[in-house]
Structure 1
Amino acid sequence: MEPQLPASPQQPQAATPAPLSVLLAEGTAKLAAQAERSLFIQSLFFDAWEGGIYGQYVRAQHYVSHLRQLHTLYAAFEAALPHVMGTTLTTALLLPELRLASALEADLTYFCGESRADTFACVETRLHAERIREVAEDAPHLLVAHAYARCVLDVFSGHRRARRITDAFELAEGQGTTFYGTVPEAGLAAFRVRFHSRIDGLELAEDETREVVQEARMAFRLHALVCDELARGATGIAAGPHADAR
């Protein structure tokens, strides 16, 4: 009887990498929470304001300023999309729910009669838009990071903000809040699943995945800079206790 050879030691299996959506959520969670709690966002969407015509007027000024900055960013994002046409990034970045510049124009027209967004972009917003244009030219896969940040900051919390604005300005439903209502509330969960599925399906190298997460962190930081600038010296906005944004 032949002696049995010792069994070969089993090779440890390589850990399955986490999906990109999970890595983005984990890598940006703190920055996303800080953005939601920024002084400007808290004051505009969650704090109580003095009533009356003057209070509504001041708050409307801040809301319009906010929409103008967003319009600059979304216009830059949409202008960058031709760089990914015909690539594997198309399925994740060409979702209609991410093309919101026209919705912002509609809201600005409602409040102002016209949009005139570009001339009202602050330095920080122009810096943010320039970064979007830069990565579109040099590293288009990083546009995924900016799409993810905008979904977290705007789309996923949109209906809650729309209700706040509607109540603050005593608007009919949908007036002046087209941007925040682009994805129907009943379809928001399905859109979140679809968006995450699209970015998880991207064929990115390991180093590209790390770059996307780092770029998303930068996108949240740039957003915070914009909010800080909007709050600086703004009437009716002051540091202090603020309502819970959740």
Structure 2
Amino acid sequence: MVVHERAHHSTYMAALLAGELPIAGYTLLAEQYLGIYGALEARGDELADDPVAGPFVIDELRRLPALLRDVEALGGSTAAPRLLPETEAYAARLRAADPARFVAHHYTRYLGDLAGGQVVGKLLEKTYGITGAGALFYDFSALGSPSRFRVRYRALLDGAPWDEIEQRRVCDEAVRAFELNITVLDAMATAAPKAA
């Protein structure tokens, strides 16, 4: 997927993966995630009884508790995180998501972090010496085997009661989710503190 590659190769992510940012540059990203996951998980709580969205509201996936501990350990603000306008727009989209669109965002965020996010977690340890609080966001051990979880998640997707038109809407919203993420990462390239 072209949009996935664009997210992976953004200027901000390239600098982070190369270890070229000060820790404050990563802290700002963690604060953006507070806004994004706060909105996503609040919307999930609202949709927990929905027959389409409800099965995807999986407690072991929740990232907000870990993010709160991470941001605090990194010296950021959990009470008033510094959210960029692009993050606010992304969060607004999440808060307004209908059940099918919620699933599209849920899929792109959680499964993306379960896979590619592990690279960032290892980078935080290797480059910045951060383990435990500060990098808890990337700890998915509560899920057990990631590969078994992906099989379980795929079964949920396959069992969702979507006709062809609704499937297209979900796919289109997944692309939109990547685009929103890219917009945040592009803004981070300008907003994040640079190494001295």
* Secondary structure class of the residue paired with 1:120: coil
RMSD of equivalent CA atoms: 2.1
Query: Is residue 149 from structure 1 mapped to residue 112 from structure 2 by the alignment?
Result: no
| Structure 1 position 152, deviation (Å) | 3.9
Long gaps (5+) in structure 1: 1-28, 50-57, 238-246
Query: Is residue 219 from structure 1 mapped to residue 177 from structure 2 by the alignment?
Result: yes
CA distance in 1, matches of 2:143, 2:19: 24
Judged with a 3 Å threshold, the aligned counterparts in structure 2 of structure 1 residues 185 and 162 are, in CA distance, closer, same or farther, namely farther
CA distance in 1, matches of 2:5, 2:111: 10
What corresponds to 2:4 in structure 1?
A: 32
| Structure 1 position 151, deviation (Å) | 2.3
Judged with a 3 Å threshold, the aligned counterparts in structure 2 of structure 1 residues 59 and 152 are, in CA distance, closer, same or farther, namely farther
Query: Is residue 47 from structure 1 mapped to residue 18 from structure 2 by the alignment?
Result: yes
Query: Is residue 158 from structure 1 mapped to residue 117 from structure 2 by the alignment?
Result: yes
What corresponds to 2:46 in structure 1?
A: 83
What corresponds to 2:92 in structure 1?
A: 130
CA distance in 2, matches of 1:224, 1:113: 22
* Secondary structure class of the residue paired with 1:88: coil
Bigger Cα Rg = 1
**1:46-101 deviation per Cα after TM superposition (whole angstroms, max 9, x unaligned):** 2143xxxxxxxx52111110001111011101111243232222454211243211
Judged with a 3 Å threshold, the aligned counterparts in structure 2 of structure 1 residues 48 and 100 are, in CA distance, closer, same or farther, namely closer
What corresponds to 2:129 in structure 1?
A: 170
What corresponds to 1:8 in structure 2?
A: none
**1:146-183 deviation per Cα after TM superposition (whole angstroms, max 9, x unaligned):** 01110243221232211100112223x43411001124
Structure 1 residues 70-79 or 191-200, which shifts more? 191-200
Judged with a 3 Å threshold, the aligned counterparts in structure 2 of structure 1 residues 96 and 186 are, in CA distance, closer, same or farther, namely closer
| Structure 1 position 231, deviation (Å) | 0.2
Structure 1 residues 81-90 or 119-128, which shifts more? 81-90
| Structure 1 position 200, deviation (Å) | 1.4
CA distance in 1, matches of 2:175, 2:151: 21
TM value normalised by structure 1? 0.72
Judged with a 3 Å threshold, the aligned counterparts in structure 2 of structure 1 residues 131 and 233 are, in CA distance, closer, same or farther, namely closer
What corresponds to 1:240 in structure 2?
A: none
What corresponds to 1:17 in structure 2?
A: none
May I ask how many residue pairs the two structures share in their alignment?
195
* Secondary structure class of the residue paired with 1:204: coil
**1:165-211 deviation per Cα after TM superposition (whole angstroms, max 9, x unaligned):** 0112223x434110011246962111111111112111112211110
Alignment-mate amino acid for residue 143 of structure 1: F
Task: From 150, 168, 174, give the equivalent of 1:210.
Answer: 168
